Amino acid sequence: MSTAKMSKAKQRQFPGRARRPAVLLPAVLLPVVILPVVAVLLIGCTAPAPTAPTPGTIRIGVLPDESRSMLEQRYLPLVAYLEDSTDLSCQLVLHGSYEELQAAFETGDVELAWLGGYTFVKLNRSHRAVPLVSRDRDLRFTSYYLTRADESATALVDFRGRRFAFGSRLSTSGHLMPRYFMRESGIDPETFFESVIYTGAHDATAIAVRDGEVDLGVANGPIIESMFASKRISRDEIRVLQETPPYVDYVWACQSDLPAAVRTELRDAFLDLSEADPANVAILDQLLAKYFVPVHLDDFDALQSIVDEIDPSGVPR
């Protein structure tokens, strides 16, 4: 696990976690400090109760659905914005796989995470992950089936007996939902295609299609559009064969023990991002968003049902 850190304040302890060691005073100083301390304590007896301590560093994990350099390009501006907009120090923590990010959330090594819908459903069930916000596009998300530009096939059914690529096994847009839609169409990938591989990331799937490692692949639609726009792939090499129906996907979620005031502070910082503010435009562009909307657990009800239908154990084949 690697870490890209941007901080502006000393780390502070989270409530309920490791406590700071006691400070011992030298004996010669005791007469000097006892009376002032007693006076302060007496005053404190009549003072209002202190507010709950503010958490220190918010460790932010994101799905590793692109290369490390692209993840840093996308999320470091957001980390800087969150630090400037809140009273919190923030740290971007990158992981090598979806499974590593999930494990980091489960062990409390990240407080805030950018999750796909499938990973969120799993973490909500196992560790009560709390949904905060999604992008404008995430409640009606789609995946792209990709093939080479010179491929003559015009429909998914034309690829029987050909080579196929998913992204990560834990990807909503690169695995779970495309598998679900294929199943609804009577296609079992493991028997329909000659071979099925998992590339681990959406950009890796596009590259595998471009380089002829597979004949067909499925990936996150907006990421593919951003790859076309940035010239990382060319429409002269790859074309979109088909787009899936819409479904619920990505969400920013936090630990259930994160104080309510901190959740609100983070949520409001996301909701304040606006294309009307020139300073926000570059951040939103990197996040492939126009704005953020608040989300709730029941927004994921249909997805939870699909997870149960595909595999009751919660792990797609």
Angle at which helices 117-127 and 98-106 cross, to 10°: 30
Same domain? For 76 and 198 the reply is no
Query: Contact 197/168 with Cβ under 8 angstroms?
Result: no
Query: In the chain, what's the furthest Cα-to-Cα distance?
Result: 90
Same domain? For 146 and 284 the reply is no
pLDDT confidence band for 313 (50 / 70 / 90): low
Average pLDDT over residues 278-304: 96
Same domain? For 91 and 232 the reply is no
Same domain? For 291 and 149 the reply is no
22 occurs within a structural domain: no
Same domain? For 222 and 300 the reply is no
38 occurs within a structural domain: no
pLDDT tens per residue, range 189-214: 999 999 999 999 999 999 999 999 99
Q: In whole angstroms, give the CA distance from residue 110 to residue 59.
A: 5
Same domain? For 239 and 156 the reply is yes
pLDDT tens per residue, range 249-268: 999 999 999 999 999 999 99
Q: In whole angstroms, give the CA distance from residue 177 to residue 8.
A: 40
Q: In whole angstroms, give the CA distance from residue 198 to residue 219.
A: 11
Q: Which of 193, 219, 243 is the last residue of a domain?
A: 243
Beta-strand ranges (E) seen in 106-229 are 112-115, 130-135, 143-148, 163-166, 195-198, 216-220
| pLDDT of amino acid 1 | 52
91 occurs within a structural domain: yes
166 occurs within a structural domain: yes
Q: Which of 243, 268, 300 is the last residue of a domain?
A: 243
pLDDT tens per residue, range 38-94: 333 333 444 444 334 444 799 999 999 999 999 999 999 999 999 999 989 999 999
Q: Which of 199, 226, 243 is the last residue of a domain?
A: 243
Same domain? For 186 and 266 the reply is no
20 occurs within a structural domain: no
Select from 8, 123, 220 the least CA-distant residue to 228. Answer: 220
Same domain? For 71 and 130 the reply is yes
pLDDT confidence band for 4 (50 / 70 / 90): very low
Select from 193, 236, 235, 234 the least CA-distant residue to 217. Answer: 193
Query: What domain count does the chain have?
Result: 2
Q: In whole angstroms, give the CA distance from residue 132 to residue 122.
A: 16
210 occurs within a structural domain: yes
Same domain? For 225 and 268 the reply is no
Q: Is 110 helix (H, G, I), strand (E, B) or coil?
A: coil
118 occurs within a structural domain: yes
pLDDT confidence band for 310 (50 / 70 / 90): confident
pLDDT confidence band for 302 (50 / 70 / 90): very high
Same domain? For 112 and 130 the reply is yes
Q: In whole angstroms, give the CA distance from residue 168 to residue 165.
A: 10
| pLDDT of amino acid 48 | 41
Same domain? For 147 and 236 the reply is yes
Q: Is it the case that residue 37 has pLDDT exceeding 80?
A: no
pLDDT tens per residue, range 136-174: 999 999 999 999 999 999 999 999 999 999 999 999 999
Select from 86, 133, 95, 74 the least CA-distant residue to 253. Answer: 133
Q: Which two tokens stand for residue 156?
A: 């998914």
pTM of this prediction? 0.78
275 occurs within a structural domain: yes
Same domain? For 234 and 156 the reply is yes
What is the CATH number for 206? Answer: 3.40.190.10
The region of weakest confidence among 1-10, 134-143, 147-156, 274-283 is 1-10
58-62 and 112-115 as β-strands: parallel, antiparallel, unpaired?
Answer: parallel
Containing domain of residue 109, as a range?
A: 58-139+248-310
